[in-house]
Every structure is written in C-alpha cells, then in structure tokens.
Amino acid sequence: MNDEPIAPAGAHPESDFTDRLRAEALALVGDLRASLDEAVGRVDDRPALPHEPDAALRDLAEALPDTGVGARAALERLLQLQERAGANTAGPRCYHFVIGGNTPAAHGADLVAAAFDVITYTWVVSPVGVRMELQALAWLKTLLGIPSGMQGVMVTGATMANFVGLASARQWWGEQHGIDVSAVGMAGQPQIPVLTSGYVHAATLKVLSLLGVGRDNVREFRADDRGRLDLPAFEAALESLEGAPALVVINAGEVNAGDFDPVGAMMDAARRHNCWVHVDGAFGLFAAVSPRTAHLVAGMERADSITVDGHKWLNVPYDSGYAFVRDHGLMARAFRYSADYLPAEDDPRPTLGAIGPESSRRGRSFAVWATLKAYGRDGHRRLVEHCLDVAQHFSGLVDAHPELERMAEVPLNIVAFRYNPGGLAEERLDALNAALGRAMIEDGRFLLGTSRLGARTIFRPAFSNWRTRFGDVEALVDTLVKLGRRQS
Ligand SMILES: Cc1ncc(COP(=O)(O)O)c(C=O)c1O
C-alpha cells in the first residue's frame, strides 16, 4: 500500500457547494453533540408516545426547497420533529410488537458505522466489516447454541431472515425435483408443500407469498383456536406426502403469549420424512441464552435454517436480523449475484452480498460485534434474564389485581392478559379491552397494543429492553386500571 498523500488540499477549488459541504462535515459532530447527549440522556424519562404528533407534522409536506437551509438548520428541524412526533422506542415503556432496546456499545458502534458509511457487500469495500460480520455471527451461534457449521448472514430483520431460510429451502425443493429454481423459476412446477402450526407469524406468510408458494397454500395444523400444533394431524400429513419433499416451519416464540411449538417433537416427525425444517426464532431463540428457558428451544439445532432477530432481544439498533443455513451451497445458488465487475464466484474472500437478498448492505456487524464484545455471553444472559424477571413480576402483579386477568402461561417474555372488572359478558369485555387499548395509545405514557388469543381481545406486552424496570411495569398496572375504570 502506498501512503503518499493523494491530492494536495485546496490546489483546485472546485465549487462553492463542495466547499460548503466540507465545512459542514467538519462542524457536524460539534453541532450534534448537545442534541445527542440530550436524546440519549433522557431516554428513560420521555413518554413512550409523543403528544399531538399531527401538529408537529403538519408542515412536513412542503415543496422541495430550491437552495436548502443547510445541514445545521435541517438537523435542528429533524431533532425537533423526532422530539415532538417520534415514539421513544429505545425507552423502557414500549411493549407493543416486540421492541428491543439498544445496549450502549451497540448504539455507539452503529453511530461509528454511519460515520464511516460502511458497506459490507464484499471484502474489498470493508475487510473489517465483512470479517466482523462472520466473527459476530460465530459468536451468536455460540450464544444461541446454533451449530457452528451453519452459514450465517445479516439482514434487515426476521422477515428477511425468514426469506433467506425459505428461499434456500425452495432452492433445495427445486433440486429435489431436478430443477434450479433460481435459474428457471417456478412456472409449471407442482405446489411446494409447507406445513406448520397456527403459531406461524405473518412475516413467514409474507415471505412465502413472495417466494411463489402463496400464503393461502400454507397448511396450519391447529389443535385449538389459539393455534397450538395438532401433532397427530401434522404427522399424518407428513406421512401422506409419501416421500415428496416438503417444508416445515417451526415457530419458536409466537407473539400473543410467547408460546412455542413443540420443537423437539416437530423436528423428530419432520426428520422421519423428506423435509426442510426452518425455525423462526425471531425473539424466541433467545430462550437458549438462559438455563431457565433453554428447554423451550431444545432440538432447534437440528434445523436446516434458523431465523433470529437482533433489534429485538439482542438489543442492537434497528434494523438487524440474522439467517443461519446448514447448506452454504444452497444459499449461494439461491442468491447468486455475479457480473464482470463484481467479485468472481470462486473468490476465496467472502462476498456476503451473494449469499443473501441485499447486495449493498450497511455495516450491521459493528453493533452486533460491539455488544457481544462489551458484555459477552454473561452480560447477554443477564439481559435476557432481566426481561424474564420483568415479565414474571408483571405477571404476578396481574394475578394479584382483582381487575386484571391473566389469559395464558408466561413461558418467556410476553404476558397475555386483559382488563376484567367482573360481571361483563365476553363480547362486552372484548369491546372494553379494545377501547382501553385505544385509550392507552391516546394517553401515550406506554406503547401497548391489543391482539387476540383465540376469540378474546387481550393485551400482550413483550419485555425485551434492558431499560425496563420493575417500577415501569408497576406504573403500567396503575395506568391501565385507572383508564380501564374510565372506560367501564
Ligand atoms: C416470530 C416472528 N417472526 C418474524 C417477525 C418479523 O420480524 P421483523 O419485523 O424484524 O422483520 C417477528 C416480529 O415480531 C416475529 O415475532
């Protein structure tokens, strides 16, 4: 490498505009410092949701400015908008969906990745980003008990991790039928059998629709209205395939009560037949991190592909998810990406953009590596167990309160419950809880949503942020009951 200076600074002034950008770039960190200190310092205190975001957003739909206001003014405006109209999703009181927090190391590393505009498509554009991705994925395999031989790749989240797993599965299925689906497509091929339980996540259905399977062709074997697996019916359906290749999706962590498919039993059944087994463990795979919950995912290590999310329970910033596939060659064939100006397919240096859906990719590895380096296996076990403790504490508060009713066991980090002051018919209770859900959003101190468990309307707070304290969930009970009484 030649270390000589490349161009003498200022020898050929080019334009006022690029001079202005250079000056702004030099001032950028100083300009942002106070605002970021304030933003990070107040995460615990801000409400979950902004008050009257519409008022703040009213003039956002303006015409494209001719000359622009410059970086400082634009960023000031942006920070005001975030303060007045952004949810505090890094904060301790957001329990809707499954929202994770940020560890400080991960947060800092993401800022560094943005500062350097890191690209992790292939080795030459970021030797460190690419190696760090492989290293961080190896650490994740150790942390989660995923076999070391599985090939990982970082993607935007669990939806795309499911896409990687199931696109690899589709490639396998095609090869079983003697075709290369990535080359010839699916036209004229038989329907791919996909078998799962009623716990299947909407993201898996979305992915299967994109892959040409069709969301309506997924067979869900339901034992009850919650969607638990009907194992005998599932086994009978496998039997009836008579050796034809099929895809099985095991749901390790469903969103309404944090329940699991019987991973070991499903795996045993699938392995007796000609199946590709995909495990969606977006947040549930973190059960493996604690000896208290590891039994919930025992057997997942026999999967062909596994999905894990990072922006949920690893507590790295959005967006970040990971796919692991046993047969590296299938990923390479499913996501083949080559051209004369791109790295050769047999280049021994890794091109991560050729084994997953994205070609150009941001430096997600920085945050994952940094949090695992900073806190290690022990720190991440403590993070997971802290959330398990918060869920159990909240569950105990629900059980102790005469106006709250727990609706399911709490195997992991989600508590299914409802407001039930007594004496109301089921339909009336459903309407009351739906109205209470709207009132909670309106109130804004917590981000909490409703769902359905079988036919019933429930709340299902998911605890997956290190910042959430026992005091936060005690306050949630108070707020919810007060608002519930007003709705009744
Ligand atoms: C089990 C499961 N799979 C997939 C997803 C989709 O994840 P993402 O939004 O990260 O794509 C989720 C999100 O909650 C999930 O819980």
CATH number of the domain enclosing 388: 3.90.1150.170
- pLDDT tens for 29-39 read 999 999 889 88
Whether residues 275 and 419 fall in one domain: no
CA distance linking residue 114 with residue 119, whole number of Å = 10
Task: Please indicate, yes or no, if residue 63 is contained in any of the structural domains.
Answer: no
Expressed in angstroms and rounded, the spacing between residue 422 Cα and the centre of ligand 1 is 34
State the pLDDT at residue 275. Answer: 98
Distances (CA, A) of 261 to 226, 295, 363: 12, 12, 33
Q: How many domains does the chain have?
A: 2
Same domain for 333 and 439?
A: no
Domain-ending residue, one of 343, 375, 407: 375
Q: Position 7: which residue type?
A: A
Asked whether the beta carbons of 465 and 315 are under 8 A apart, the reply is yes
**Together in a domain, 359 and 401:** no
Q: Are residues 356 and 381 in the same domain?
A: no
Domain boundary among 326, 341, 375: 375
Cα(85)–Cα(53) distance, integer angstroms: 4
Which residue's alpha carbon is nearest to atom 14 within ligand 1? 98
Across residues 72-86, what is the average pLDDT? Answer: 95
Find the 203 Cα to ligand 1 centroid distance in Å. Answer: 6
> In the prediction, which pLDDT does 35 show?
87
80 inside domain? no
Q: Is residue 405 part of a domain?
A: yes
Q: Which atom of ligand 1 is nearest to the CA of 281?
A: 1
Ligand 1 contacts CB of residue 98 (under 6 A): yes
In a domain, 88, yes or no: no
Ligand 1 mean position to 177 CA, how many Å?
31
Specify whether 152 is located in the same domain as 217: yes
- Please say if the pLDDT value at position 369 is more than 90: yes
- Whole-number Å distance between alpha carbons of 337 and 355: 8
In the listed set 324, 345, 375, which residue is the last one of a domain according to the structure? 375
* The predicted structure's pLDDT at residue 78: 95
pTM summary value: 0.97
Distance from residue 270's CA to the centre of ligand 1 (Å) = 23
Q: What is the mean pLDDT of residues 328-356?
A: 96
Residue 331 lies in a domain: yes
Mean pLDDT confidence for 366-385: 98
| 351-372 burial code (b ≥16 CB/10 A, e <16) | bbbbbbbbeebbbbbbbbbbbb
CATH of the domain at 202: 3.40.640.10
Which residue owns the Cα nearest ligand 1 atom 15? Answer: 282
In this structure, are 305 and 404 located in the same domain? no
Residues 308 and 250 in one domain: yes
pLDDT band at 11; cut points 50, 70, 90: low
**Dist. CA 204 → ligand 1 center (Å):** 9
What are φ and ψ of residue 3, in 5° steps? -95, 5
- Report yes or no on 91 lying in a domain: no
Residue 457 lies in a domain: yes
Query: Cα(158) to centroid of ligand 1, in Å?
Result: 5
Residue 282 in contact with ligand 1 by CB distance below 6 A: yes
Residues 371 and 393 in one domain: no
The reported pLDDT for the residue numbered 4 is 82
Residue with tokens 């919650």: 226
Task: Give the model's pLDDT for residue 6.
Answer: 79
* 192 and 267 both lie in a single domain: yes
Average pLDDT estimate for 245-254: 98
The answer to whether residues 415 and 362 belong to one domain is no
What was the pLDDT predicted at 15? 86
- Considering the chain, what is the average pLDDT of its residues? 96
Whether residues 414 and 434 share a domain: the answer is yes
The pLDDT tens digits for 385-433 are 999 999 999 999 999 999 999 999 999 999 999 999 999 999 999 999 9
Domain boundaries, position 428? 376-487
Pocket test for ligand 1, best of 94, 164, 249, 309 (most atoms within 8 A of CB): 309
pLDDT for 39: 87
Weakest mean pLDDT among 48-62, 282-296, 469-483: 48-62
Instruction: Write the pLDDT tens digit of every residue in 170-198.
Output: 999 999 999 999 999 999 999 999 999 99
Q: Tens digits of per-residue pLDDT, 192-232?
A: 999 999 999 999 999 999 999 999 999 999 999 999 999 99
Do 227 and 202 share a structural domain?
yes
Which residue has a Cα nearest atom 3 of ligand 1?
Answer: 282
Q: For ligand 1, what atom is nearest to the CA of residue 161?
A: 11
> Does residue 473 fall inside a structural domain?
yes
Closest CA to 141 of 375, 377, 400, 352: 377
* Ligand 1 binding pocket includes 159 (Cβ within 6 Å): yes
Whether the per-residue pLDDT at 376 is higher than 90: the answer is: yes
